[in-house]
Chain A
């Protein structure tokens, strides 16, 4: 029984290679079934995201090699094997388990601690299990990886604190406004950063967008994408009082929103707070605005410093995560060793019970006048005796197996009791 992972990620391969090897939801089932046809006594899961493509395989006899998986991948995607292998990494057994736990906990992600990868791992596993490509080992492994990831996220602050400008800005907006429904977002400038912020606010429930831009067409384009309203750039001042959130990122060399304008606007707002985000360099919003009561102004540096701080905090958590994961890997490996011994114990049980049955069959004709109830008692006693006899050895064997002696114990049990059953179960049972 062995676990192998073969794959590449954003660190090991450039995007040109990653996109070649990428799977999508449509061809994963086909790939899995092809693989299982070729290697029937194995289990497989394919994880394919924009930053990584990985194939997790467990083979029952432990005969499957990295090269076999490499060959399969290169054949499936029609990429030359030698070329592909330079970008691939592979890990075996505990290191493979460790790798998956790292990936699921988002320690291997481009953005450390992001939460998307966990759902991607979950989905990869679901697809594989629907295709019946997973069995005892990978079922356990993936369940455990999700648990380990959750453990890391609850016990450390790895996922805490936002790490992008737009999410930090939205987080601040959430500290001012309870929700964004019914709030007006005024967007000045129509750059990429603005769009990202609008998207984020839209996801959080904001629906009223007003876009002002030097080129009206571009404003219209952006407004249409979010069912907003485009206004002439010159009318900006008139809309200030209506805006709860103002995002500005024009390329203007001077201030676009001035203290007097906001002072005037806030009078009409009767103390309702106003949140201004200035992501332009040079700045668009006059800094003096920050001193007005009920007005909150943040510029790109304010947001960036929070992002940097949060990234720092996440990085500081890595060591803690690593040791948590190591523990989880150890648990899993112990469980795996235990699993190795389970078929042998089942066979041992069957073996004993068969002997018991044989003996009972031999006994029955000899006892002529035994009632049904009495006979049931005899059968029950026999079963109980066997179970009692086997209870302790099974327990000890499992315990010992946890410490890594699984294989040795299986062999010993077989030898001692004369069981010569080949324990190859088909993987998906």
Chain B
């Protein structure tokens, strides 16, 4: 179902896709594909993406998470926002080759959620909501980047093991370097996720958003599982000082859980803050119950 309002995000996807092609091309065939093109198309995509979110926000008068589609593209915006900042701080060579394709693919997937009738059921001017959503989104963004780094780690590790010394081998940084960055992104994401979950818990307790059985909500359960996975991972790193392949594999598992918590729960019919429009919303139900 094509709408005029899709155009900016389609442009964004086209730019991300161009960036993907160029960032992969700059490794495979550096004479033809200029790395700078990859960088600038990504930046241009990011600006259009930002503009689109501002537009959505102004249109609805809320932060753009009023439905699943908007939340998804807001999350993707966070991923790039965190990436651009980290790249500026730490210089992450060739990470875009792993991250931008992922963002492009997720962006295309996000498109399929538009037109879904799930909309948010609570007031977006709520302090708790912002305190719940923003840390979690930035945390998820950090986990997305650590996922890309894990893929990069395992790729480089495989190349070293199998003695495949191609163009990609030369472009990628050292295993130790990737490992350190993975650690940095994880230690950024985890406190934020914790904070977001704590605020979420406060919110749900004080305002009874998800009903009395809130702890049986899929998203709550999976969120907790995600938290535990990353807690275990950080424990491995901090206490047992684990490195290498195992950490990379667990980071990948953690990200799969993140994605499942974020999107998968909708397929399972979670009503976590979103509601099918043709049913009475929670708030309405709550109102009805009130005397």
Contact = CB atoms under 8 A, between A and B. Distances in A.
A302 B161 CA distance: 11
Nearest to A305: B163
A296 B174 contact: no
A272 B167 CA distance: 25
A300 to B, nearest CB: 13
Interface stretch (A30-38, A136-144, A172-180): A172-180
A177 B243 CA distance: 13
Contacts of A290: 161
A271 interface: yes
B243 A175 contact: no
Interface in A154-197: 172, 174-178
Contacts of B245: 271, 293-294
Interface in B168-191: 169, 172-177, 180
Given A271-B242, A272-B244, A273-B243, A296 B176 contact: no
Contact of A176 (B174, B180, B242): B174
Interface string B139-167: 00000000000000000100011010100
A174 B163 contact: no
A306 interface: yes
A174 B240 contact: no
Interface in B97-128: none
B246 interface: yes
A176 B176 contact: yes
Nearest to B159: A175
B244 A178 contact: no
A272 B241 CA distance: 9
Nearest to B241: A270
A175 B156 contact: yes
B178 to A, nearest CB: 9
B244 A273 contact: yes
A270 B175 contact: no
A175 B175 contact: yes
Contacts, number: 48
Contact of B244 (A172, A177, A271): A271
B244 A294 contact: yes
Contacts of A306: 165
Contact of A271 (B156, B177, B180, B246): B246
A418 B174 CA distance: 72
Contact of A174 (B161, B174, B241): B174
Interface size class of A (residues with CB under 8 A): 10 to 19
Contacts of A272: 243-244
A176 B177 CA distance: 8
Which of A174, A270, A298, A302 has the most chain B CB atoms closer than 10 A to its own CB?
A270
A126 to B, nearest CB: 33
Nearest to A175: B174
A209 to B, nearest CB: 19
A296 B244 contact: no
A296 B161 contact: yes
Contacts of A298: 163
Contacts of A296: 160-161
A62 B243 CA distance: 70
Interface string A280-301: 0000000000100110101000
Contacts of B173: 178
A178 B161 contact: no
Interface in B219-250: 240-247
Contact of B180 (A172, A178, A294, A302): A178
A296 B164 CA distance: 13
Interface in A243-272: 270-272
Contacts of A177: 174-176
Given A290-B161, A306-B165, A270 B243 contact: yes
Contacts of A176: 160, 174-176
Given A271-B243, A271-B245, A293-B244, A178 B176 contact: yes
B246 A273 contact: no
A178 B90 CA distance: 13
Given A293-B245, A294-B245, A306-B165, A175 B160 contact: yes
B174 to A, nearest CB: 5
Contact of A172 (B160, B177, B242): B160
A177 B175 CA distance: 6
A270 B176 contact: no
A178 B180 CA distance: 9
A178 B242 contact: no
Which of B156, B169, B176, B247 has the most chain A CB atoms closer than 10 A to its own CB?
B176
Nearest to A172: B160
Nearest to A176: B175
B277 to A, nearest CB: 49
Nearest to B174: A178
A293 B177 CA distance: 18
A273 B247 contact: no
A296 B161 CA distance: 6
Nearest to B181: A178
B11 to A, nearest CB: 35
Contacts of A302: 163
A273 B176 contact: yes
Contacts of B172: 175
14 contacts: A175-B156, A175-B160, A176-B160, A176-B174, A177-B176, A270-B241, A271-B242, A271-B244, A271-B247, A272-B243, A293-B244, A293-B245, A298-B163, A302-B163
Interface of A: 172, 174-178, 270-273, 290, 293-294, 296, 298, 302, 306
Given A176-B174, A177-B174, 7 more contacts: A175-B172, A176-B160, A178-B174, A271-B244, A294-B244, A294-B245, A296-B161
